[in-house]
Structure 1
Amino acid sequence: MTTLRFPVAAGAPGAPGALTDVEAVISQHLPAAAQGDARAYGRIVAACQNPITAIALAIVRDVPASQDIAQDAFISAWRHLQRLQNPSSFLPWLRQITRNLARDHLRARVRGGGPVDDAEGVIEAAADPGLDPLQQAMADERQAMAVELISALPEDSREVLLLYYREGQRSQQVAALLGLSDAAVRKRLSRARATVRGELLARFGEFSRSTAPSAAFASAVTTALLLASPPAAAAGLLTVGAAAGAKTAGKLLLGAAGSIGFALVAAIAGVYLGLRRQLRGAIDTAERHALIRSAVVCALASVGFAVGITVVAARSDGWQWPVATTAVFMATVLWQSMVVQPRVLRRRHAHEASLDPSGAARRRRREKAIAWLGAVVGVTAGTGGLVVGLMASGRL
């Protein structure tokens, strides 16, 4: 059997530099993030994404699901940042959130009798009925490899090994990011080396590196921050949509088209990311399909608004048509977020209440408060942006 050694990377005695980098990013940007600065939080996500996705992957053994769970963990932490008193506690707190979400995912998969992410296959099939069989085969093979490689490792070594290869084989860096001592990390690495044959361990190293999240992961999380729940999605869609409408009303053609395109991409990305999180807890096919229909309506409303506001701004000089187009868009998004989606989730909420009445009641009260806050913020910001645009264009 081939013997693999786990050296400490040269130039990283105790890995103080790498640790300082991560700590510096957190301490520098956490105060702004706690005040609602999504860009500052995005920098924290980029610094911490490797360990968080590794923790999730070690538990669920599914690469796409692990990245979804990591995204949910970052968003959950974002929602509750003001509770955090000590910036040095952020990473341990985030790790625990991730482990809890990953275990919840496994429990939901057992209750559902199949992979939770099957629901995402419904979306993909609807969006692209002619899915390339070769791509599907490659995805299936990759998932089988993930299960095989991760299952072969001692359970307490999985997080350590995944992060060890992703972090350039620096045991001190792994220890810092996972909150362990360097001796504990080395012990787990040695146990894995003694347990798993060398060829399989080499394959695992390549697998770990190839599945590390890219810079696009942090960008996706940042996009999803304003759209972390249906009410927040309403506020986000209304704000970016009306902002695009205001710019179109004020300045047509190329500049306006660019602003609309950006808003449209952000809105649809937010709808999709929010839908994936909702589908993960769906109790049956009927609920999945209803959630997908609602998301499709919101996405089509965004597309319709982007096209409609451009057309009416180009072909009319008054304020009536831009206002009417914006009002229809706002009404559609609010109806879906405030009425349709809560109805769809009613059975799930009833089931949660039967298991934990007080906890479910607290969550519903919090969701209702966020719903109204999101609606008020979205309508106010959207209407304000439209009025400014109409005034700037001389229409009002």
Structure 2
Amino acid sequence: MPEQPTSELELSGLVDAELVRLAREGSASALRLIVRRHNQQLYRVARAIVRDDAEAEDVMQEAYLSAFRHLAKFRADASLSTWLTRIVVNKAVDRRQRANIMLPWDTLDRIEQPDVAVLPDRASEFDPERTVARSQIRDLLERAIDNLPEPFRVVFVMRMVEQLDTKETASALGLPEETVKTRLHRAKKLMRKQVQTTLASALTDTFPFQDPRCAAFTDALLARLVEGGTDQSVTAASLKR
């Protein structure tokens, strides 16, 4: 019998079903790789429901613990990703219901437009304007996603952020595919309204030319004028005053 892989590197080429088999046999490396492989998607799904970073991590931990206690129930009739996502959704919904802050998913399908929050600028420690702009765009999108009603938000994250297809999303959420399509359409519509509203108020701040970029440009320009001497329209003497 060939020797079984033991390290994460050796296991990295295995499909999920093989990792589950090894995990059932007690492989800590297989468990660790399962977690690393699915963390991003599960975090985003949990975060879409509870709308809090720390809460999302708690949900993930509960879901993983539950999944690993019941690995024997995984029959591979669905993908491991779908199975784990179902557990995360259930844990997150249970947490929201215990906090008594969640409306029923079916009634929220009838919501036309949530309150649109103004998305404040975030201060950045980085000076390059392009980096700041990229960060602000991401912040705008994250806040707009957070403002979506929960059923739309979860579908939007799974379809547009995680880029799962309609069938996978429907299977993970236990919804008909047509419902997923409808919720995604409405989520996109709501997102457009929110983003357009915010961008309209921010247009006057586009293409900034401020310090230190403005100061550096001004210093360089004046230096060139001084170097050009008195044949310039502005004399070197006047620039040095």
Give the TM-score band, short-chain normalised. 0.3 to 0.5
RCO (CA 8 Å, sep 6+): is it higher in 1 or 2? 1
CA radius of gyration, larger in: 2
Higher helix proportion, which one? 1
